[in-house]
Amino acid sequence: MRSRSLQYSKALAPLGLALCVGFAQAQELGHGVQAHGFVSQSVIHTSDNHVGGSGEDSLGWDLREMGVNLSWRPTPDWLISGQALARWAGESDKGDLRLDYGFVDRTLFSDGDSQVGLRLGKIKNPYGFYNTTRDVAHTRPGIIMPQSIYLDQIRNFFLAAPGLSLYGNSENNVGNLSWQISVLRPEVDDPSLEYVFLANDQAGHFKGKNSWLSQAMFDMGGTWRMGLSLGEMNMAYHPSLLGEIEIAGSHRLPTWVLSLEHNTEDWSFTVEYGQTKVDATGYRLFNQNATTEAGYVQATRRMGNNWQGYLRHDVLYYDNNDRDGTAFAGSALPLMLGLPAHSRFAKDWVFGVRHDIEHIALSAEWHHVDGTAWLAQSDNPRAGLIRQWDMLLLQAAWRF
Amino acid sequence: MILFWMLLTQLALADLAMAAEIIANSSVGVNSLSLASARSIFGMRQVKWPDDKHIQVFVLADTHPTHIALCKERLNLFPYQLRQSWDRLVYAGMAQAPIEVANEEELVNKVATTPGAIGYVRKVKTNDAIKIIAIQ
């Protein structure tokens, strides 16, 4: 109870600041300083399984996010930016206030149509179309992200990290080419990370190791957008002092995503496909080596009067050589833990509508899912996982 | 009656087809921009003029007819695309947003009184403090 009130009091800080700044409409604070922010709240009903605090007979209210950012451009060549974020998502995210990003950006070269610059600090990782702004409801392609590419269970690992980033931008009459290459040390504080990579919650902890991520995105006047994200994320597992020496080891995760989007006035068609190799070494008990395969297609129709509807099919396989999960479920540790085969895949049909009223977006989204791969294990006891399930989400979001 | 409606429709179409003019503060040492540069400036990716002065972008609401005209007829974009591209930059801390004003009159005043400012209007009235920027 005490921790709950602490969480809410922590959340009041960004909310208070967001409301003060937002209602005053003071996005431009003078002297090159700007403030922006966002708040969203969702309500979830699930037929089976648990998402955001939903239960058999109760609605889930634990899907909530709020953030506020400040940026300062003292001269055209310098930009200093930072964002505070609090997020709630069932047991896996409890609303702790954290620094989402905070960096210094220096333009090194600029000749009108081309720029090259350097960013230093905690930087958002470009990965696919949506990773950098995945917590801002207005920028997402639906209420929840396509979980195949943007798996919430390991979101912090991929979201932002301290590091150094070289970026560039080049504009011509055909379109705009933007690119970025970052060296970083990934953050490994996701409670779900051990469930995903070590099959269970362990007593020790992961530690981020030197990694790199890059992205090139070509935007043909907005009509076609295409991109490649490429990198390798690394981390090592440090066992607790109370034993566990048998599971010390490290993970190497080479990853890539191809992104393609076609836009017309009324329609957007988006497809993203990616693979991540999970290369675990040194673990005596559970060396999981597999290639994760992820992809989705989405069609969005803008219907006028700020209404839009969308249809998405999203597919995730943790192992492309064991798509139905039977080989995994039959192996020693998963068998001992009682992990079902359907915890290794998820095929999700999504239908949603969204209505925008100035700075407010109201959305409703229905999911029919075959598989439980992206459900947070901290919210879902293994024995109770149901393979086929449905989910209805409603969301209200505001931003300034 | 039919003729009247046809005339009215024609007038309405002519009005819609009239592109927005890009305007800048008279201190700006540029008289024309390539389409690429205009997209880069209104997309908040290019933030300084060739003389290194800061570019301050002023815009109208996404649903304002003049904003729609600027996007479609000058920048060859749809307004939602410009909004998405601003959001991607602003909420990742990689750029600042343009300043939104309530109406065209305020926009002209802001451009006229802010050094390095750029904006747009449907019809330019004689005003010494602003200049029209051509798109090449």
| Predicted local confidence at residue A69, as pLDDT | 96
Backbone φ and ψ of A303, nearest 5°: -105, 5
Q: Which of A38, A133, A169, A213 to mutate to test the interface with B (most CBs of B within 10 A)?
A: A133
Q: How far apart are the first and last CA of chain B?
A: 42
In angstroms, what CA-CA distances link A395 with A22, A313, A352, A392, B62?
Answer: 20, 20, 11, 10, 22
Q: Write the pLDDT tens digit of every residue in A327-384.
A: 999 988 888 888 899 999 999 999 999 999 989 999 999 999 999 999 998 889 888 8
Give the three-class secondary structure for A344: helix
pLDDT at B74: 92
Pairwise CB contact (< 8 Å): A36 & B91: yes
Does residue A11 surpass a pLDDT of 60?
no
Beta strand B117-121 with B56-59 is parallel
Q: For residue range A246-282, what is the model confidence (pLDDT) as tens digits?
A: 678 899 999 999 999 999 999 999 999 999 999 988 8
Please report the pLDDT score of residue B127 as a whole number: 67
- Taking the CA of residue B83 and the nearest CA in chain A, the distance in Å comes to 10
Helix intervals (H) in chain A: 2-23, 155-159, 193-198, 326-329, 332-337
pLDDT category at A17 given cuts 50, 70, 90 is low
pLDDT given for residue A197 in this prediction: 84
CATH of A2-399, one of 1.10.260.40, 2.30.40.10, 2.40.160.10, 3.30.450.20: 2.40.160.10
Domains annotated on chain B, with CATH: 20-135 (3.40.190.10)
What are the backbone angles phi and psi of residue A332, rounded to the nearest 5°?
-55, -60
Question: What value does the mean pLDDT take over residues A6-10?
Answer: 45
Percent share of chain A, pLDDT over 90: 68
- The shares of helix, strand and coil residues in chain B, as percent rounded to the nearest 5, are 40, 20, 40
Model pLDDT for residues B38-75, shown as the tens digit of each residue: 999 999 999 999 999 999 999 999 999 999 999 999 99
Considering CB atoms only, which of B45, B78, B94 is closest to A222?
B78
- Token pair of A221, please? 């006047």
Q: How confident is the model at residue B128 (pLDDT cuts 50, 70, 90)?
A: low
Side-chain-side CA neighbours of residue A235 (13 Å)? 23
**Residue of B55, B94, B101, B118 for testing the chain A interface, max A β-carbons within 10 Å:** B94
The arithmetic mean of pLDDT across residues A232-241, rounded, is 88
pLDDT, mean over chain A? 89
Model pLDDT, residue A253: 94
Residue % of chain B over a pLDDT of 70? 85
Domain spans in chain A, listed from the N-terminal domain onward = 2-399
Give the tens place of pLDDT for each residue, A161-217: 999 999 999 998 889 999 999 999 998 877 778 888 887 777 788 899 999 999 999
Residue with tokens 């006229």: B112
So what's the pLDDT on residue A158?
A: 87
Instruction: Tell whether the model's pLDDT for residue B136 goes beyond 60.
Output: yes
Return the number of other C-beta atoms located less than 10 Å from residue B15's C-beta: 11
Taking an 8 Å cut-off on Cβ atoms, the answer to whether A110 and B40 are in contact is: no
Assign B52 to helix, strand or coil. coil
pLDDT for A190: 77
Q: Is B45–A171 a contact, with Cβ atoms under 8 angstroms apart?
A: yes
pLDDT category of residue B11 using cuts at 50, 70 and 90: very low
pTM of the model: 0.89
Residues A177, A218 contacting (CB under 8 angstroms):
yes
Strands B32-33 and B56-59: unpaired
- pLDDT value for B116: 95
pLDDT higher than 90, residue B16: no
Asked if B99 and A221 come within 8 Å (Cβ–Cβ), the reply is no
Identity of residue A363: S
Q: Are B57 and B43 in contact (CB under 8 A)?
A: no
pLDDT at residue A56, as a whole number: 79
Instruction: With CB atoms and an 8 Å threshold, state whether B50 touches A169.
Output: no
Nearest CA in chain B to A32: B96
ipTM: 0.90
Closest CA to A209 of A245, A184, A229, A191: A184
Buried b (16+ CB within 10 A) or exposed e, A219-239: bebbeebebebbbbbbbbbeb
The answer to whether B58 touches B102, Cβ cutoff 8 Å, is no
Q: State how far the Cα of A264 lies from the Cα of A270, in Å rounded to an integer.
A: 12
Of A28, A38, A76, the CB nearest to B48: A76
Indicate yes or no: CB of B88 within 8 angstroms of CB of A132.
yes
Question: Does residue B6 carry a pLDDT above 70?
Answer: no
pLDDT of residue A343: 94
**A49, A257, B98 from A58: Cα distances, Å:** 12, 37, 43
Q: Which residues 6+ apart lie within 8 Å of A228 measured at CB? A: A215, A216, A256, A257, A258, A259
> CA–CA separation, A198 vs A208, rounded Å?
15
Tell me which residues of chain A have a C-beta less than 8 Å from any C-beta of chain B: 27-28, 32, 34, 36, 38, 67, 69, 71, 73, 75-77, 79, 81-83, 101-103, 105, 107, 110, 112-113, 115, 119, 124, 132-133, 136, 138-139, 169, 171-173, 176, 178, 219, 221-222, 263, 265, 302
B135 contacts on A by Cβ (under 8 Å): none
pLDDT on residue B18: 59
